[in-house]
Chains A and B, each alone.
Chain A
Amino acid sequence: MSTKPSQSETETETDTEPATTGHQQRRLDDKRARADDRDEAAAQAETEFDGETVELKVFRYDPEIAGKEEPRFDTFTVPFETGMTVLDALIFARDSYDSSLTFRHSCRQAVCGSDAFFVNGSQRLGCQTQIEDLEWPVRVEPLPHSDVVKDLVVEMDHFYDQMESVDPFFDPDDLPDGELEEQRQSRQNRENIKLSTRCIWCGACMSSCNIAAGDNKYLGPAAINKAYRFYMDDREGSEKRQERLEIIEQEHGVWRCQTQFSCTDVCPKDIPLTEHIQELKREAVKENLKFW
């Protein structure tokens, strides 16, 4: 299963979404550059398979099995094919070598957000990361800054709690009169919040954040981005807007962000998280300076 973007896909994406161009284009360029200088470790991998193989070093831990309570790394040798993702390689390892190897996955197309791992020192979606783009051997660990349940599966409750705490749903002050009447959004407004709507709740950003690691109450990039998505939505009305502002500027809200950009660097949906947090900081200042 390949999710490698073809040239034409990349182009249509940037064509139709002008707002993403700078940020997204830069990441795509980076990616291409990495592919270019990938070393020949592949060729050297000795093999019982025909053709190229890639070594996968995977974090293992299982508190329920005697002898596996101590975390360790297992190495799997996986036959490489073009277009193979980290998730594909993990699935191969599980199906061929060790059916107890545990990780979450579902959609295989960067939509469900269940397979964020720490791959070669960076938070990435397994299904979105091409083995080809990485240095070999590939090291796969569970997301940092969260407790490990088993192997690559981490406790997500805290992340989900933070997401829920910002009221991640549309909640207008007034409903239109007619039962079937639409609540229209202007094109301009939709454009403003477009990137923020892309979040798939994968938790990569939260895991990358040093501040979130040190402050368990910090809302975190994803939750603040979610707050941004609704705060910037013109349709809710001033009452809800005020409520949202209070959540945003609470003690463990936007002001905890120290603009390290780690979240923006890792977000698999290319959401400019730091930019959104900074924009909310400026909104909070403006609202508080208003004395009329």
Chain B
Amino acid sequence: MSESYDRGLVADFGRWTEFSAGMWAWVFHKFTGWVLVGYLFTHISVLSTSLQGAQVYNSTLSGLESLAIVRLLEVGLLAVAVFHILNGIRLLFVDLGVGLEAQDKSFYASLVLTGVIVVASVPTFLTGAF
């Protein structure tokens, strides 16, 4: 037999347009998980300004909160966290073998619920930002 044709990594992973619900759930879960880890570091560094006294901490925080981009990022963080938690609960059920037939529906439910919660949070996060 002659050589065979390896379609390569790009072709392999270029099939994302054909992904099904569970595959997207996995992609989003990994993504949101790592975004949360990334946030953890910024979170710690902002909080540690309190080591230099109340003054520094307060001015850092109010400085950050006065930036519209920070407010927007906060909405994004909430979206990421809420999806990760809801889909995380879905995954816990999957691990217990409960409701496996509805795994695609529970993923869509996580998405919709995340959307609703994020929209509802917009007034809280963005009042006075612009």
Q: Which residues of A contact B (CB under 8 A)?
A: 22-23, 26, 61, 63-64, 71, 121-122, 144-145, 147-149, 154-155, 210, 213, 258-262, 265, 272, 274-275, 278-279, 281-282
Contacts and interface: CB of A to CB of B under 8 A. Distances in A.
B95 A121 contact: no
Given A210-B26, A260-B23, A279-B97, A122 B18 contact: yes
A279 B98 CA distance: 11
Contact of A261 (B2, B3, B12, B103): B103
A61 B97 contact: no
Contacts of B22: 259-262, 265, 274
A275 B4 contact: no
Contact of B7 (A122, A148, A279): A148
Contact of A272 (B4, B23, B100): B100
Interface of B: 1-7, 11-13, 15, 17-23, 25-26, 91, 94-97, 100-101, 103-104
Contacts of B23: 210, 260-262
B7 A121 contact: no
B97 A23 contact: no
A278 B91 CA distance: 11
Contact of A278 (B1, B95, B101): B95
A139 to B, nearest CB: 11
A260 B104 CA distance: 10
Nearest to A272: B100
Contacts of B6: 147-148
Given A22-B101, A275-B97, A260 B25 contact: yes
Contact of A23 (B15, B95, B101): B101
Nearest to A211: B26
A199 to B, nearest CB: 18
Q: Which 6 residue pairs spanning A and B have beta carbons closest together?
A: A261-B22, A121-B18, A147-B4, A148-B5, A260-B22, A260-B23
